[in-house]
Structure 1
Amino acid sequence: MRITPADVGQRVSVRFWVEGAAAREPGEPAHSDAVGVLESWADGWLSIRWRDGRLTTVDEQALVAGKTLPPSPR
């Protein structure tokens, strides 16, 4: 993982473990991705705002990978 709380305000891409993924049916994804602006990273939780306004909250313990991205193309 290459992102830290110092990246708040940056555009990021993260991959995270989906809760209960071990109990999923074969062939269903065990991970999910989020791409957007890292709005906060506090008390072990990341908040990522998608371009369409949705907010995704991710437990830092579920992170698999992450990186900063250049600003979104307009």
Structure 2
Amino acid sequence: MAARKPAGIHLDGVATVRFIVGADGALIAVELAGSSGNAALDRLALRTVRNAAPFPTPPMGVESEQLVFTIPFSFH
């Protein structure tokens, strides 16, 4: 599911989100690692990660109890 900016709003920016996923695919934590400079875009990036949870379980062979991801969300 892709989150979209409301129609008619033309804002640009990159929000960087850091999140932790547990071995069962559950979202453990999510935080803004770098602001886009716009609070609405920052909230949208955080909401996108929250709405994507739960995530698939990691593949066999991944032995970490938690996986940490840092993802840039680019808005144009």
TM-score normalised by structure 1 residue count: 0.30
TM-score, length-scaled by structure 2: 0.30
Q: Which has the larger radius of gyration?
A: 2
Of Structure 1 and Structure 2, which has the larger fraction of its residues in helix? 2
